[in-house]
Copies of this chain bind each other. A is one copy, B any other.
């Protein structure tokens, strides 16, 4: 980090969406000797940024971002945290340079999956000579490792469920639809769209209590990078709420992609999983597709 710092005379900006990830990235940046500027997305981040040099910015305010980045000598940008909404056209604040990209941008804004949209935004940022970097480059401790994270391991049934869910998650990932799939007793019962993982898990809980999905079998959640995903943004992530909702759905555990997924509040995640007999497992989908991990 230090050598990168020396080569980079500019400042780091953290575009902060929802959840706690932006705070962890900001703290990791400080530990690495950075003086990050927080660009807090209005209506998305609910954290208290008063202890940080920060500005608030509306979703879609591209011109505002350019002005802030220019006047703060920003040369690297981390985009992190969930952006739940898509900006309405009326919220877009564009300057002359971005206006030239509008036809492509509008199309992506409406019709692209998250990955297509985020890649477009990253390209907009990088056209000014700034670099977009991944949250895991600032906070590598958040990355999931291979193998058990916590005390428990998937049993034979869970391993079989993981294999089926990997195929399903990669299938929807290729279509830029979502990153997560839930399998129960070898059957795919929910695929993630824009609603997010927590709502997918609550749907599975509902399906089980309505008897539409067997509640005798536990099942697994698998979250993977989309094939071809831009890894600087929107890496799959899990936190305590993921485990809580997986528990509500009666799942045996959660498997995420080692090296390309983030575990937030790792200690609390492990504590919850250990206490409820659930596994959290880092997998390499290339090695496990169709096989036991």
Contact = CB atoms under 8 A, between A and B. Distances in A.
A169 B80 CA distance: 31
Given A175-B171, A189-B194, A191-B177, A210 B84 contact: yes
A212 B195 contact: yes
Contact of A195 (B113, B185, B203): B203
Contacts of A194: 189, 207, 212-213
A61 B289 CA distance: 38
| Copies of this chain, count | 2
A214 interface: yes
Contacts of A207: 193-195
B211 A86 contact: yes
A90 B186 CA distance: 21
Contacts of A110: 184-187, 214, 216-217
Contact of A168 (B89, B111, B177): B177
Nearest to A203: B195
Interface residues of A, number: 38
A84 B167 CA distance: 26
A112 interface: yes
A207 B207 CA distance: 20
SS class, residues of chain A in contact with chain B: loop
Contacts of A190: 193
Interface in A180-221: 184-191, 193-195, 203, 206-207, 210-214, 216-217
Contacts of A191: 172, 177, 191, 193
Residue with the greatest number of chain B CB neighbours at <10 A, chosen from A168, A195, A217: A195
Contacts of A172: 171, 191
6 closest A-B pairs (Cβ-Cβ)?
A111-B186, A85-B211, A110-B185, A111-B185, A194-B212, A110-B214
29 contacts: A84-B210, A84-B211, A86-B211, A86-B212, A88-B211, A89-B216, A109-B214, A110-B184, A110-B187, A110-B217, A111-B185, A111-B217, A112-B187, A167-B175, A168-B177, A171-B171, A171-B172, A172-B191, A176-B187, A177-B188, A177-B191, A188-B193, A189-B193, A189-B194, A193-B207, A194-B207, A194-B212, A195-B207, A195-B212
Given A86-B214, A191-B191, 19 more contacts: A84-B211, A84-B212, A85-B212, A86-B212, A109-B214, A110-B184, A110-B186, A110-B187, A110-B214, A111-B185, A113-B188, A171-B171, A171-B172, A189-B193, A190-B193, A193-B203, A194-B213, A195-B207, A195-B212
